[in-house]
Structure 1
Amino acid sequence: MTAPFEIFLSAPPGLEETLCAEAVDNGFAHARVVPGGVTFKGHWTTVWRANLVMRGAGRVLARIGGFPAYHLAELDKKARAFPWGDTLRPDVALRVEVTASKRSRIYHAGAAQQRIETALRESFGATIDRTAPLVLKTRIENDHVTFSIDTSGDSLHKRGHKPAVGKAPMRETLAALFLRQCGYDGTQSVVDPMCGSGTFVLEAAEIAAGLMPGRSRHFAFQDLASFNADRWADMKAACPPPRPDLPRFQGSDRDPGAIRMSRGNADAAGIGAAIDFQNVSVADVHPPEGARPGLVIVNPPYGERIGNRKLLFSVHASLGSVLKQRFSGWRVGIITSDAQLAQATGLPFLPLGAPVPHGGLRVRLYQTAPLP
């Protein structure tokens, strides 16, 4: 695959435009929005770099080829002739996933998966394992078969350096996209008054420090025939060192266990010294001393999975009161699935964006201009 091929970055529905803006900022200049994510063309080194630097993408898929097929016998024949060795290694187990459109004459996904798995075993010597981390994704639509490799493996929200998570955690990828939607660019101070395991302030501090989100983990592309360990090492070594002069970051929570998790996560990420974690309730939150106004971002309990919804109205009212009294000039972002709880803060929210799926719910970002 010496010619450029299509690369797809997955995004939560409703955040494709935000992910596209991140891709362009990271140098993927021809990125464009498609349903469910962002696409652009590149080479294998482009794939490696996307996995290394993209904070908002859930996965990076490489389109490795395809062909027209009108019946299962044709699928079998062409799958046996496909140049799997350009991408795959026979000694690395993989699993096959198939989606088939009713608009295709091959519409039975299970039968197609069986043919492709058999072709891989018999013509290439591949080991098929339904639990393998390496995934060959096959899409059959309008009588065309398209093969893609999930080059990430584990979802990219698993940064590789966060040992502890709290209840109903915000995924790192989603947190990064919400930070971007709030206009965060790494130059402003960030406060999270209900920080849980610290996801928002950790992401914000890493962005400010210029740390690569994929610096600590293994990726599925490292097990492909196209991988070059020396070039990958050079790519990681070329990443700039962390920036020393950072704005202020502060996370607080009334749960001492959450604060212990947050501090442990920050230390594991190498940014423990950059974040002040405090075991205080919302009523006792103040801006970091000497910090210029920046961003307050919070993912409070919604009452759907955590907490009693009726009691949460007073918590949200207290949050709004504290922010209006003590955070003049700061912008606020609140992520919630409950419009009434958001309104209970009494904050002057800007027009809403699209709802975003999160943990089986649909949440929205409620944000303000700088508070008076």
Structure 2
Amino acid sequence: MTLFAITLPGLETTLAEEARGLGFEVTGTEAGGVTMAGDWSEVWRANLELRGATRVLVRIGDFMAFHLAQLDKRARKFPWGDVLRPDVPVRVDVATSRKSKIYHAGAATQRIEAALREEAGMTIAADAPVILKVRIDDNRVTISVDTSGEPLHKRGHKPAVGKAPMRETLAAMFLRQCEFNGTQTVFDPMCGSGTFVIEAAEIAAGLQPGRSRRFGFEHLTTYDPNAEALRRTTRLRAPDARFYGSDRDAGAIDMAQANAERASVDDLVTFSAANAGEATPPAAPPGLVIVNPPYGTRIGDKKALYPVYGRLGQVLRERFSGWRVGIVTSEGGLATASGLPFLPDGPSIAHGGLRVRLYRTDPLP
């Protein structure tokens, strides 16, 4: 089968690297995701183990349709029962392209929903646990089922979040782009609810990101309860590295600590209340400083942030010799204000209605 792991545009290559490292058969990348080949056990494993995917789709079939009557006829003959259960409601999402003669997504949705109700005995519901993704491109109707359910950044073990939180999937991809492999110390001097620190600790320990949650594939006819054997709640490794976070907001530190305990990595992480402008290296080998500072667009005044970035850069240059640095921001000018020797810019990534980039350095002199 063809699996399609969705990620944010600009992160396709990074997700492909992660998938190959986990032993998936990557067959290519395309805008917004990575294609892989595999059976249903690989679908289950992809949901449990991929840290950078936002959803995993399975393409269950396709056919040509040049007008709505043809779409209606072929949708009624489609073997929905091979994958969908009549006792589980479904939702249909249709996207059309300008290259297709069927261009009205609403009309196409109605035809497919009618086929599901009248031929397969399905119930259509806006809050259904199973979602069909239908794309009509160049007159080819491609039907996929969303096997994830809720987006995969919802790990199931992070109840507390602060302002403008970094999504776990994005944090995992930025850590990988900073060459983090689980063996290096990680320090976030503006850690908020602890996403970077906890994600790094989980990677180091070999914990599955999806170990604490349920998935859409559990509602399909193809689901085998024996697949629960793929879910692993214990660590693969006992990491030597340790992971540190600080924040000037004591409430954020309390949230981060609670999240670390819920994720079962509290023995690997240390959180403390401190101002980033006075940060000092933890008592550990040099590793990676990664930080998602305020951008000024949603939190605070952007002009007031230039001195903040300047002071952060000064502290890192003076005190963190041998450490790599990764800074996530929507403003190139703010990154420049840090005075850090950044490598060429990474791709622009959509995050919370903004466009952000990861600015990276080699080990600081």
**Fold shared per TM-score above 0.5:** yes
Mapped contact 2:182–2:239 kept (Cα < 8 A): no
CA–CA distance in structure 2, aligned partners of residues 234 and 12 of structure 1:
30
Equivalent residues in 2 for 1:267-306, closer than 5 Å:
267-289=261-283, 291-306=284-299
Tell me what 1:146 maps to.
142
1:351 aligned to 2:344? yes
Tell me what 1:255 maps to.
249
Mapped contact 1:137–1:148 kept (Cα < 8 A): yes
CA–CA distance in structure 1, aligned partners of residues 196 and 163 of structure 2:
15
CA–CA distance in structure 2, aligned partners of residues 143 and 286 of structure 1:
59
Tell me what 2:193 maps to.
197
Cα displacement (A) at 1:242 = 4.0
Amino acid in the other structure paired with 2:315: V
Amino acid in the other structure paired with 1:298: V
CA–CA distance in structure 1, aligned partners of residues 277 and 358 of structure 2:
22
Amino acid in the other structure paired with 1:212: Q
Of 328, 335, 354, 1:335 maps to 328
Amino acid in the other structure paired with 1:269: A
1:146-171 Cα deviation digits (max 9, x unpaired): 10001101110000110011111111
CA–CA distance in structure 1, aligned partners of residues 239 and 137 of structure 2:
51
Tell me what 2:117 maps to.
121
Cα displacement (A) at 1:9 = 0.7
CA–CA distance in structure 1, aligned partners of residues 363 and 98 of structure 2:
50
Tell me what 1:135 maps to.
131
Partner SS for 1:30:
strand
Of 11, 29, 33, 1:33 maps to 29
Mapped contact 2:293–2:328 kept (Cα < 8 A): yes
CA–CA distance in structure 1, aligned partners of residues 262 and 235 of structure 2:
17
1:103-124 Cα deviation digits (max 9, x unpaired): 2121111111001101100111
Equivalent residues in 2 for 1:35-74, closer than 5 Å:
35-74=31-70
CA–CA distance in structure 2, aligned partners of residues 27 and 225 of structure 1:
26
1:110-144 Cα deviation digits (max 9, x unpaired): 11100110110011110100122311011111111
Cα displacement (A) at 1:248 = 1.6
* Mean CA deviation greater in 97-106 or 218-227: 97-106
State, as a whole percentage, how many aligned pairs show the same letter: 60
* Mean CA deviation greater in 99-108 or 170-179: 99-108
Tell me what 2:218 maps to.
222
Mapped contact 1:97–1:135 kept (Cα < 8 A): yes
Unaligned 5+ segments in structure 2 are: none
Unaligned 5+ segments in structure 1 are: none
The size of the alignment, in residue pairs, is: 365
CA–CA distance in structure 2, aligned partners of residues 266 and 240 of structure 1:
15
Cα displacement (A) at 1:359 = 1.0
Of 355, 359, 362, 1:362 maps to 355
Task: Give the superposed CA RMSD.
Answer: 1.1
Cα displacement (A) at 1:233 = 1.6
1:13-52 Cα deviation digits (max 9, x unpaired): 1111111111110111334211111001111111101001
CA–CA distance in structure 1, aligned partners of residues 136 and 239 of structure 2:
51
The alpha-carbon distance between structure 1 residues 240 and 266, as it changes in their structure 2 partners (threshold 3 A), is: closer
Tell me what 2:76 maps to.
80
CA–CA distance in structure 1, aligned partners of residues 66 and 332 of structure 2:
49
Mapped contact 1:157–1:171 kept (Cα < 8 A): yes
Mapped contact 1:6–1:40 kept (Cα < 8 A): yes
1:233 aligned to 2:228? yes
Amino acid in the other structure paired with 1:218: R
1:267-312 Cα deviation digits (max 9, x unpaired): 00001111100111013321111x1110000000010000111221
Mapped contact 1:95–1:128 kept (Cα < 8 A): yes
Partner SS for 1:185:
coil
Partner SS for 2:223:
coil
CA–CA distance in structure 1, aligned partners of residues 18 and 314 of structure 2:
33
- Relative to the length of structure 2, the TM-score reads 0.98
Amino acid in the other structure paired with 2:50: M
Partner SS for 2:252:
helix
CA–CA distance in structure 1, aligned partners of residues 100 and 334 of structure 2:
46
Tell me what 2:260 maps to.
266
Amino acid in the other structure paired with 2:362: A
1:167 aligned to 2:153? no
CA–CA distance in structure 1, aligned partners of residues 260 and 164 of structure 2:
19
Mapped contact 1:23–1:31 kept (Cα < 8 A): no
CA–CA distance in structure 2, aligned partners of residues 303 and 248 of structure 1:
31
CA–CA distance in structure 1, aligned partners of residues 77 and 212 of structure 2:
37
Partner SS for 1:202:
helix
CA–CA distance in structure 1, aligned partners of residues 279 and 108 of structure 2:
57
1:54-113 Cα deviation digits (max 9, x unpaired): 000111000000111122122111111111111000111110011112221211111110
Equivalent residues in 2 for 1:91-102, closer than 5 Å:
91-102=87-98
Amino acid in the other structure paired with 1:299: N
